[in-house]
Amino acid sequence: MFFSDFSGKQSSSKASSIPTIFYEVVPYSSRTRIAELMRTVDHLIIGGGVIGASIAYHLAVRGETNVLVIDVGKEPGAGSTSKATGGFRCQFGTEIGVKLSLLAREKLLHFEDELGIDPGYRPCGYLFVSKNEHQMSILRSAKEIQQKAGLRNVREVSPDDITQHNPAVSLDGVIGGTFCPIDGFIKPMNILKGYMEGAKQLGAQFEFGTQCSGFSMEERGASTRVNHVRTSKEAYRIGSVVNAAGAWAAVVGRMAGIALPITPAKRQVAVSYPTNLLPEDMPMTIFTEDSFHFRARDGRVLLLLPVDYQTRDPFDTTFEEWWIEKVKARAKECVPKFASLAIDRANCVAGLYEMSPDRHQLLGRAPGFENFYLANGSSGHGVMHSPSLGQLLAEEILDGRTTSLDTTPLRPSRLAEGKPNPVMEFL
Ligand SMILES: Cc1cc2nc3c(=O)[nH]c(=O)nc-3n(C[C@H](O)[C@H](O)[C@H](O)COP(=O)(O)OP(=O)(O)OC[C@H]3O[C@@H](n4cnc5c(N)ncnc54)[C@H](O)[C@@H]3O)c2cc1C
């Protein structure tokens, strides 16, 4: 197999566009034939989750229909997208976070007309509940930032208001919070399917059960160009390549010699048996002290409490049984009537967030590369931001810059420049 010693390292030959590997193992007469046989893909996207699908769709809508999305999973959503609880919020602690949500909301409002599938956007609100002044001051600072970014719907709420929005919450120790009525819920798999089917109708292709396993690259002056992408099935000559590999982005980056600071973080969801303890339109309710949050979905209650699982394998998604008692105890403190909530173990979920050091995306061309693009590090907000991220990355690839929004705060070089975005706890 002529790719057997494919190293993924940069070619030492600056003059040639033919990767080193051909020189090493293929006689010259065969090289042209192999290159001719290799399929050319204008844009190859690694990762067919909601972000990869959104990028494919937005490229195709711009007329770029020779797009191939590959995913090692056997079916759509095998990564984190199918695990997401479906929260959508505009309440973020930086302008860029808010703007990504506002743009995404506009797109979600037109999603069904455009793509024929209901993205499930229901503006039931997000209710932040706080028990201390420090966290209230964070919510107030965030509110100012949100207003500057164009989000004027967020209101500070009193304990009485909290009862109005969610009568189930215990007010024990609660001093206030914030509520945003245009936050709410979405259906992650509907958004993924909408973008995937929309992209396919325009000519893009999706291949599941196909793993990216390396690249051949060439130095061109100060920058590097990726010429070919190797997969578990075949190799492709490419125009551009996008890393949309979610929690696995750093593994894909490493194959190209890029050290991406994206780390997986396990997150679990406890799902109750069907119950009428909470109405479906109750807002997502989040306690700022430890980010315990809950919602109702499809007649069940979903409980989430982030903890550090200390797994030996950072990509491990085995469900940790001990956590159920912990989250149930916390749920009972926050919502007394959850004392009777029974958890349906078979429907509980464990998945991975894709954390970046400042909890913001790395979006754009990889530093030092001509045609290697990143859409990584959504840090647990990737579904809600996927409509924006797809549109923005398509602009970056096709126009050389984003035009819908200024994405300078998301430039992949910011961390190396020592200019991370500010991180606000629990936002
Ligand atoms: C429990 C939980 C709850 C969440 N709740 C929310 C929420 O309420 N709202 C929200 O917005 N977000 C939520 N998230 C986060 C959200 O799921 C992610 O941010 C989002 O799915 C990221 O999308 P993606 O397309 O980048 O990643 P993924 O869906 O993980 O897709 C990446 C794909 O890349 C593929 N891949 C990896 N390596 C390779 C390779 N070498 N070759 C080919 N393919 C490869 C994987 O198979 C995977 O399918 C939640 C996540 C979890 C775990």
Residue 301 in any domain: the answer is yes
Tokens of 84: 């997401």
Same domain, 41 and 160: no
Same domain, 293 and 244: no
Q: What is the pLDDT of residue 310?
A: 87
Query: Which residue, 249, 196, 194, 191, is CA-closest to 379?
Result: 249
The CA-based angle 424-395-182, given to 5 degrees, is 45
Residue 419 in any domain: the answer is no
Same domain, 60 and 75: yes
Residue nearest to atom 19 of ligand 1 (CA): 382
Percent with pLDDT over 70 in the chain: 92
Q: Which parts of 49-129 fold into alpha helices (H)?
A: 50-61, 95-115
Q: What is the pLDDT of residue 32?
A: 57
Q: Flag whether pLDDT at 359 surpasses 70.
A: yes
DSSP class of residue 181?
Answer: T
Q: Can you give the CATH number for the domain in which 379 is found?
A: 3.50.50.60
Q: What is the pLDDT of residue 30?
A: 55
Residue-wise pLDDT for 247-257, tens only, equals 999 999 999 99
Per the CB < 8 A criterion, the answer to whether 192 and 51 are in contact is no
Residue 328 in any domain: the answer is yes
Same domain, 127 and 18: no
Same domain, 345 and 214: no
Q: Can you give the CATH number for the domain in which 316 is found?
A: 3.30.9.10
Phi-psi region of 160 (alpha: psi -120 to 50; beta: other; left: phi over 0): alpha
The CA-based angle 105-394-207, given to 5 degrees, is 100
Residue-wise pLDDT for 365-378, tens only, equals 999 999 999 999 99
Tokens of 172: 């024990």
* 351 pocket-lining for ligand 1 (C-beta < 6 Å): yes
Same domain, 364 and 349: no
Residue type, 71: D
Cut 0.85: pTM above it = yes
Distance 27 CA to ligand 1 centre (A): 42
* Residue whose CB lies within 8 A of the most ligand 1 atoms, among 55, 57, 58, 80, for a mutation test: 80
Q: Which atom of ligand 1 is nearest to the CA of 255?
A: 41
Residue 132 in any domain: the answer is yes
Domain boundary among 308, 326, 355: 355
Residue 384: what are its φ and ψ, rounded to 5°?
-65, -30
Residue 106 in any domain: the answer is no
Q: Flag whether pLDDT at 7 surpasses 80.
A: no
Handedness of CA 312, 316, 318, 319 (dihedral sign): positive
Q: What is the pLDDT of residue 6?
A: 26
Q: What is the pLDDT of residue 34?
A: 59
Domain boundary among 307, 339, 355: 355
Residues 410-414 have a mean pLDDT of 98
Mean pLDDT over the full length of the chain:
92
| Beta-strand pair 372-376/235-243 | parallel
Residue-wise pLDDT for 154-195, tens only, equals 999 999 999 999 999 999 999 999 999 999 999 999 999 999
Residue-wise pLDDT for 42-87, tens only, equals 999 999 999 999 999 999 999 999 999 999 999 999 999 999 999 9
Q: What is the pLDDT of residue 205?
A: 98
Distance 148 CA to ligand 1 centre (A): 30
What is the chain's alpha carbon radius of gyration, rounded to the nearest angstrom?
Answer: 23
Distance 24 CA to ligand 1 centre (A): 37
* 165 pocket-lining for ligand 1 (C-beta < 6 Å): no
Residue 426: pLDDT band (50, 70, 90) is: confident
Provide the β-strand partners of residue 71.
208
| Beta-strand pair 87-88/184-185 | antiparallel
Distance 243 CA to ligand 1 centre (A): 12
Q: Flag whether pLDDT at 130 surpasses 90.
A: yes
Same domain, 380 and 241: yes
Same domain, 37 and 175: no
Same domain, 240 and 251: yes
Q: Flag whether pLDDT at 12 surpasses 70.
A: no
Q: What is the pLDDT of residue 29?
A: 53
Percent with pLDDT over 90 in the chain: 90
Same domain, 74 and 201: yes
Distance 184 CA to ligand 1 centre (A): 20
Number of folded domains in the chain?
2
Cα separation, 41 vs 96, in Å, equals 32
CA distances from 319 to 82, 178, 346, 351 (A): 15, 32, 10, 9
Burial class (CB in 10 A: 0-12, 13-18, 19+), 63: exposed
Residue 75 in any domain: the answer is yes
Domain boundary among 355, 373, 398: 355
Same domain, 302 and 247: no
Find the domain containing 335 and state its range. 123-184+264-355
Distance 80 CA to ligand 1 centre (A): 3
Write out the DSSP string of 351-400: EEEEE-TTSS-EEEEPTTBSSEEEEE--TT-HHHHHHHHHHHHHHHHHHS
Distance 247 CA to ligand 1 centre (A): 6
Per the CB < 8 A criterion, the answer to whether 98 and 147 are in contact is no
The H or E element that residue 272 is part of is: none
Residue-wise pLDDT for 264-323, tens only, equals 999 999 999 999 999 999 999 999 999 999 999 999 999 999 999 988 999 999 999 999
Residue 170 in any domain: the answer is yes
Residue 235 in any domain: the answer is yes
Same domain, 307 and 212: no
Q: What is the pLDDT of residue 93?
A: 97
Tokens of 393: 């990355």
CA distances from 51 to 69, 75, 189, 232, 316 (A): 11, 15, 12, 22, 22
* Residue whose CB lies within 8 A of the most ligand 1 atoms, among 69, 81, 266, 305, for a mutation test: 81
